[in-house]
Structure 1
Amino acid sequence: MPINVAIIGCAKIAHLHAKAILQIPDLNFKAVWSRTPESAQKFVDEYGVKAYSSIQEMIKAENIQMAVVCTAHPYHADPAIEAMEAGANVLIEKPLASTLQDCDRIIEVAARTGRKTGVISQRRWYQPIVRMKKAIDEGKIGTPALGTIQMLGWRDRSYFEGDAWRGSWKMEGGGVLVNQSPHQLDLLQWMMGDIDEVFGYWSNINHPYIEVEDTAVAIIRFKNGGLGNILVSNSQKPGIYGKVHIHGSNGATVGSQPEGGAMFIAGKTTIAEAPKLDLWTVPGEENQLEEWNKADSDEFHSVDAMTWYFRQQLEDFKDAIINDRQPLVTAEEGRKTVELFTAIYRSQRDGKPVKFPLLPEYDREDMDGRLL
């Protein structure tokens, strides 16, 4: 079943989606929309698609069934809603939105229109992550009891000056929590389960020329009784790594390093190192780490890693449309990531732990403590 696809927002990350779409049979890349005509024209020239100044017109004229939203974080909701109301299913770049208000608007319209919605979290398809999740689901570590994520990277001044929206609360929605950490925040909750309470802090350590945070820490209590901690930062030069470790009630641990070395920057760098397992103490499987890492590295180096994992998620979303099922990463799953970083902002603002679930704060205009 051929599916017509459009991209909404023609920023740097959109090019990776375009290349991945073109690799998938039965996905027909038809059109783009952008607030910036010059950006849209680059897609017309490179991919031979049509550019539109109206999302609704584009969806109707090209019979678009799948729209991939790649606008800046605070501007995901309005175009996604417009696309759904015009008849398209939408796959939205991470995070789902920068506020819970916008998340709930997207989810409400999806429910009302019956459209599929998904959120990009392509690291769920990394083979080391797949192995971790499978081991947890099969009970090999008992109950997940302690989850930790670390993301220690670097962003320099040229990165923030490269796009006008970066480094601003209103234009980017946040710093390392909103932009660089959603993948890790998603993986932590996917493996550990729902959250009961969060206490967190954020800071700007060494980027005085931006408004947003470059570092954040948090302690988590999960509903299953497990605990967790978060350490994410853009203040380590050069970038070091990103890690996800899950420790179980039987004493076994599974852990991976999805990112190593300099962190990926869309339109500027490639993925520096293959993702790998770096901890595995499941009884009887301790000696398989080297074999698995070799197999996973061989796969990583046999494909175009820049687009392969996007392709896996796009394939999943395509199949969800064709077979009328939910995609692996739904809008509701994406909201959990926004809820977590929102809790960290609110915790610093209020100086106390934040209980879940969180509701939007319609009576405040401080963006959960981001606008001081």
Structure 2
Amino acid sequence: MKKLKFALIGCGRISYKNVEALVKNRDSSQLVATCDVKLDRAIAKKDEYINKMQDENLEVKIYEDYKEMLENEDIDVVTIATESGYHAEIAIYCMNKGKHCIVEKPMAMSIDDANEMIEVAKKNNVKLSVSHQNRFNAPIQKLREAVEGNKFGRMMNGTARILWRRDEGYYTQAPWRGTWDLDGGTLMNQCIHNIDLLQWMMGGEVERVYAECDTFRNPIEGEDFGAILIRFKNGAIGIVEGSAVVFPKNLEETLSIFGTEGTAVIGGLAVNELKTWRFEGEDEDSVKSSLQVEIDNVYGEGHTPLFKDVIEAINEDRKPYVSGEDAIVPLSIILAAYKSRKTGMPVQFPLENFSSSDMK
């Protein structure tokens, strides 16, 4: 397997997970450059990587301009962890330069941009993956196995609850957060992972979406609370309850799936704990005990297997486990929710182009 050379663009809040994933995949990857418009952050990530690798002889270049970096360095894969509103522009530029891309969520802020990313990846024969890393959690994989094995019978309904707290300091620390152009609200920023898992498990294409959203206490353009009702073409109903205003701190992130023949609930800090597992002939306690993994952060531990999968997908020339085509679905649900909020009406699928900026 070829050892791939990585570059990191965007060295803010989530970037430590990208560094961690590269360190843990050290046999098949190497970080060769970091880039951030704030050079001190690029330097900090370079130092973080070298320290975790425990090899002071490693050479990692630093840049403020990603276009200059691409011209100067031999890079196979770019991982993009900038503000959400820049994901599409940067990914499209990198893929047109022949680079594979791993993009943090959301993949884009509009349907047109997301579709262009998918098409550019195909045109240049490069891999595009989006960091919906919770798909790799052991309980989520167990749940997906049950879905694919038709253990639930007929899918009836599912619920994604994201009851978190983000106070004013979270938004003032990075003024792009909560803006329509660069971030959206809590549905786009905090809830997209669980929305992705909900739609992935319900087993059908989306038929329509209706939403009610509001901004209750934070000084932002986007919503800090949102509720979505999703009707799937297979008849199942999905419910999303997403909050960034729970008092006084994060309460839960829970995914519940209900079928005529089974019930499953996954919670924990990063949907990593199997809470309920009820299927005929299966011992709930033994299944639950076999899947418990300790997590100490809301991002979970999924970046490492996601990066491993992308590396293998490149070397084996196959589709990544979480592709651009996969990631456009939760994005579409959220953008449909925003359109529903704006119009006060349900939104039918397929969703024509809509952008979070259209909310302004």
TM-score greater than 0.5 by the shorter chain: yes
Cα separation, partners in 2 of 1:54 and 1:156, compared to 1, 3 Å? closer
Q: Residues 101 and 246 from structure 1, CA distance in 2 versus in 1: closer, same or farther, beyond 3 angstroms? A: same
Residues 246 and 366 of structure 1: CA distance in aligned 2, closer, same or farther (over 3 Å) = closer
**Aligned in 2, Cα 1:353/1:82: closer, same or farther, shift over 3 Å?**
same
Rounded to whole Å, the distance in 2 between the matches of 1:154 and 1:306 is 15
> Are 2:49 and 1:47 equivalent residues in the alignment?
yes
Taking the TM superposition and a 5 Å limit, the aligned residue runs for 1:274-285 are 275-285=272-282
Correspondence for 1:291 among 286, 295, 314: 286
Q: Which runs of 5+ in 1 are unaligned?
A: 260-270
2:338/2:356 contact within 8 Å kept: no
1:367 correspondence with 2:327:
no
1:255 aligns with 2:257: no
Identify the match of residue 340 of structure 1 among 326, 333, 351.
333
Contact 1:60 1:86 in 2 (8 A): no
Partner of 2:294: 300
Code of the residue aligned with 1:314 in structure 2: it is: F
In structure 2, C-alpha distance between the alignment counterparts of 1:117 and 1:258, rounded to whole Å = 29
Are residues 305 and 183 of structure 1, via their aligned partners in 2, closer, same or farther at CA, if it must alter by over 3 Å? closer
* Residue 146 of structure 2: aligned partner: 135
State the secondary structure of the residue aligned to 2:139.
helix
Letter in 2 for 1:6: A
Contact 1:198 1:347 in 2 (8 A): yes
Q: CA RMSD in A?
A: 2.0
Q: Could you say which residue in structure 1 is the equivalent of 2:7?
A: 6
Map Cα deviations across residues 221-247 of structure 1 (whole Å, 9 max, x no partner): 101111111111111122211111111
For structure 2, the 5+ residue unaligned runs are: 51-59
1:174-185 to 2 correspondences below 5 Å: 174-185=184-195
Measured in 1, the distance between the counterparts of 2:104 and 2:287 equals 30
Match of 1:266 in 2: none
Given the alignment, which residue of 34, 48, 56 partners 1:32?
34
Using the alignment, how far apart are the partners of 1:251 and 1:83 within structure 2? Answer: 46
Please list the CA deviations of residues 131-151 of structure 1 after superposition, one character each: whole Å capped at 9, or x if unmatched.
111111111111322111111
Given the alignment, which residue of 99, 114, 121 partners 1:110?
Answer: 121
C-alpha displacement of 1:65: 1.1
After TM superposition, give the deviation of residue 307 of structure 1 in Å: 6.9
Question: Cα offset for 1:305?
Answer: 9.3
- Partner Cα distance (2:290, 2:298) in 1: 15
Aligned partners of 1:308 and 1:147: how far apart in 2?
A: 24
Tell me the SS of whatever aligns to 2:227: strand
Aligned residues: 347
> Residue by residue, what CA displacement relative to the aligned partner does 1:39-88 show, whole Å, maximum 9, x if unpaired?
21222333351113443443353321111100101110111111111121
Instruction: Pick the aligned partner of 1:72 from 79, 83, 88.
Output: 83
Question: For residues 305-331 of structure 1, what are the alpha-carbon distances to aligned partners after superposition, in whole Å with 9 as ceiling and x for unaligned?
Answer: 967321010001111100000011111
CA distance 1:188–1:336, shift in 2 (3 Å): same
- Mark the CA change 1:154 to 1:255 in structure 2 (over 3 Å): closer, same or farther: same
Q: SS state of the match for residue 102, structure 1?
A: helix
Q: What is the DSSP-based 3-state SS (H/G/I as helix, E as strand, rest coil) of the residue aligned with 2:174?
A: coil
Q: SS at the partner of 1:177?
A: helix
Report Cα offsets for 1:236-290 as digits up to 9, x if no partner. 1222111111111x3421221143xxxxxxxxxxx7xx821122221111x33x3
Contact 1:19 1:307 in 2 (8 A): no
Aligned equivalent of 1:331, options 304, 324, 328: 324
Report the TM-score when normalising by structure 1. 0.88
Match of 1:264 in 2: none
Could you tell me how far apart the structure 1 residues matched to 2:299 and 2:329 are? 26
Offset at 1:123?
0.7
| Aligned residues of 2:160 and 2:241 also touching (Cα < 8 A) | yes
Cα 1:355–1:318 change in 2 (3 A) is same
Deviation at 1:158, TM superposition (A): 1.5
Say whether 1:58 aligns with 2:48.
Answer: no
Q: Secondary structure in 2 aligned to 1:178? A: helix
Read off the aligned partner of 1:12 and give its amino acid letter: R
Is 1:91 equivalent to 2:93 in the alignment?
Answer: no
| Partner residue in 1 for 2:57 | none
Taking a change above 3 Å as real, the CA distance of residues 196 and 275 of structure 1, as seen in their structure-2 partners, is same
Alpha carbons 1:7, 1:69 under 8 Å: kept: yes
Cross-structure match for 2:310: 317
Aligned mates of 2:69, 2:23 — CA distance in 1: 19
- TM-score (normalizing by structure 2): 0.91
SS of residue paired to 1:281: strand
Equivalent residue in structure 2 for 1:122, among 123, 128, 133: 133
Amino acid at match of 1:83: C
Change (3 A) 1:184 1:306: closer
- 1:223 to 2:233 alignment: yes
The within-5 A match list for 1:161-240 is: 161-172=172-183, 174-192=184-202, 193-207=204-218, 209-237=219-247, 238-240=249-251
Instruction: Work out the CA distance in 2 between the residues paired with 1:327 and 1:118.
Output: 6
2:158 corresponding residue in structure 1: 147
